[in-house]
Amino acid sequence: MSRLLLVEDDRGLAAGLGAALRRDGSQVDVADCGREALRLARSAAYDACILDLGLPDLDGIELLRMMRASAIGFPVLVLTARDALGERIRGLDAGADDYLVKPFELGELEARLRALLRRRGADSTPWRQFGPLRFDAEGGAAFAGDAPIELTRREAAVLECLTRRPGRIVSKEAILAAAFPTDSEAAPNAVEVQLSRLRRKLETAGVTVRALRGLGYRLEETGGHAVQ
């Protein structure tokens, strides 16, 4: 089942699109403004985003740039009434993966979305590597070279979240959502506790998690160089 972020301030259109996509088996979260969309994008793992450029608080192109600057890499299908070639080029240059001009047929949107999801699946691999550290994002297994690193379910969820954005900052909110997806009563220091335990276990792999005050966390090699 795909998890989608729908960014659309027209409530009628959002309701219609959301219902259609849910009938197709997707989980759909809806944001009606740019700031809410950015908050959701930073706090959950989505497979794709459907983004209307005409938002009440932020220009959709600016929101797209902010998401890409935050290392949010899921594919984005842009919806817009702006049919000018220059606008389409701006959207693609800002990080859009596809572009659909209003009015559009639901069938075409669904087909374009399926194509984006297939492309994302073909490009992905469960194995991620940083120096001697290897991590199976599907199975949650980690290795320092050939030696296994024993991780709890929450530690594996945190490492999966961090390895999704190698060498880049990951917000505390994203890590909290990964480690405690259904636990709204997680203790205030829950993220720090999980990261402290994870750091100790990653020492043998030459990797640590660096805290960047006010920004979030980042995987780095213990020599001090960010993982590429």
Max Cα separation, the chain? Answer: 56
Helices (H), 24-83: 34-43, 60-69
Structure tokens at 219: 């995987």
Task: Express each pLDDT in 2-26 by its tens digit.
Answer: 889 999 999 999 999 999 999 988 9
Residue extents of the structural domains in the chain: 3-123, 127-221
By three-state DSSP, how is residue 100 classified? strand
The model's pTM: 0.57
Given a cut of 50, is residue 181 above it in pLDDT? Answer: yes
Q: Which CATH superfamily is domain 3-123 in?
A: Response regulator (3.40.50.2300)
Task: Express each pLDDT in 61-111 by its tens digit.
Answer: 999 988 887 667 789 999 988 776 777 788 888 888 898 988 889 999 999
CATH T-level assignment (fold) for domain 127-221: Arc Repressor Mutant, subunit A (1.10.10)
Q: Region 206-216: what's the mean pLDDT?
A: 89
